[in-house]
Structure 1
Amino acid sequence: MFTGLIEAIGTIRAVEPKPAGGRRLLLELPERLEIHVGDSLAVDGVCLTAVDVRGARVAVDVVLATERATTLGEAAPGRRVNVERALSAGGRFGGHFVTGHVDGIGTILAVRPEAGPGAGTEVWIEAPAALAPYLVPKGSIAVDGVSLTIQAVEGTAFQVALIPHTAAATTLGEKGVGAPVNLEADLIAKLVVRALDPYRRLFGRPDGAGGIGQ
């Protein structure tokens, strides 16, 4: 389990295809992060396991299913990635529940700096249609592993705001229009929608579009 509060930006130094499929990523991370073999890491929001640790170099394996479902399938040397270690028992919880299980890949539609000193940046992102039920104004979403609050929703597009610290401390401040991003919907929202599914099928349309009682 993660919180969506990024601890460091790492750099992919090598990508090694694996004989059985998938790939191994060699990450260079700040040495201040204490990481051991077997530890869970969120890399751009994807939960991976450290399989080899040598100083500041950490290797993680990406299986075929993860390649297909996340932006790590296009990972290349030199790419900077958001990194967070798993939440420890008793640790402070400052973001929201992030599992590291990406729900889909979104696309940045617009990046609009706000006016004024110390102002943030407004970012619009197009999400896959399957994520639409979980997009709630003032709800949470993880974008490349970063815990953010949804400010507005229009269809399958949603808007988030990056404060200057978030833009500087994560890779989101480097991304422009057209960039793909990993999206993970809020776990609580997914559980609520799942719990209501039987009632939607009973009282609404099979696709869930009808409201209860319709």
Structure 2
Amino acid sequence: MKKWIIFLASLILPFWISIIGYSQTSNHNKGYGKITGTVKVFGKNFIGDLKEKDDMSGVVVYLTGFETKPSKDVSNLVQQNKAFNPTLLPIVAGQTVSFPNRDGIYHNVFSVSPVKSFDLGQYKSTDPPKDITFDKAGLVPVFCNIHPQMISFVLVLENNAFGKTDKEGKFVIPNVPPGRYTINAWKPKTQRMSSDIEVLPGQETVINFELKEVEKIPPHKRKDGSNYPGYQDDWES
């Protein structure tokens, strides 16, 4: 668990970078601004060299520095084929997440995060899904107590000014109140990148990031602190 504390601390501390291709253009919505851009993701190939990935989806780009009310919509973190989908789910603090099990076997979703600790118990696809409300901003790793390979992250944000990249790495954050903010980009296995940004009314601001998949996601324990059968947490040594 101590390795998970180190891992999460490295994500809380932002890594500041210079802005790549920062520009502003007119936007039809005069009261608010819009942020667009591209995130390039680099992963290691079979010999360990970094190469631009074909699929750059799944990066969450978000603003910090102000709060908004959560959506009343319930987000889904699905259990299927012994995996969570998506592996990174952005929501706003106060929002509810449902955890449907679409496998014909039991799963036991849990988290021991100080941001939100919970244990949903065992249930399968014939059982109703279980819900959790995340009331505090932060990063919540989510596991299955039965299947150690099942890992996802709920990224609980201060506000709804966030976007998620498509396969080409493009993102859009619409209807942003004018002001100066910190903009962040992150996905699992990368170090969070952050920069200052100014949003002007009626303007489109373009900012681009580059992320490198060089971080390891540490192994974890079961909910009672024990090892999974046949699964050695060598990060504890």
Q: TM-score, normalised by structure 2?
A: 0.24
Q: Which has the higher strand share?
A: 2
Structure with larger RCO (C-alpha < 8 A, sep 6+):
2
Q: Which has the higher helix share?
A: 1
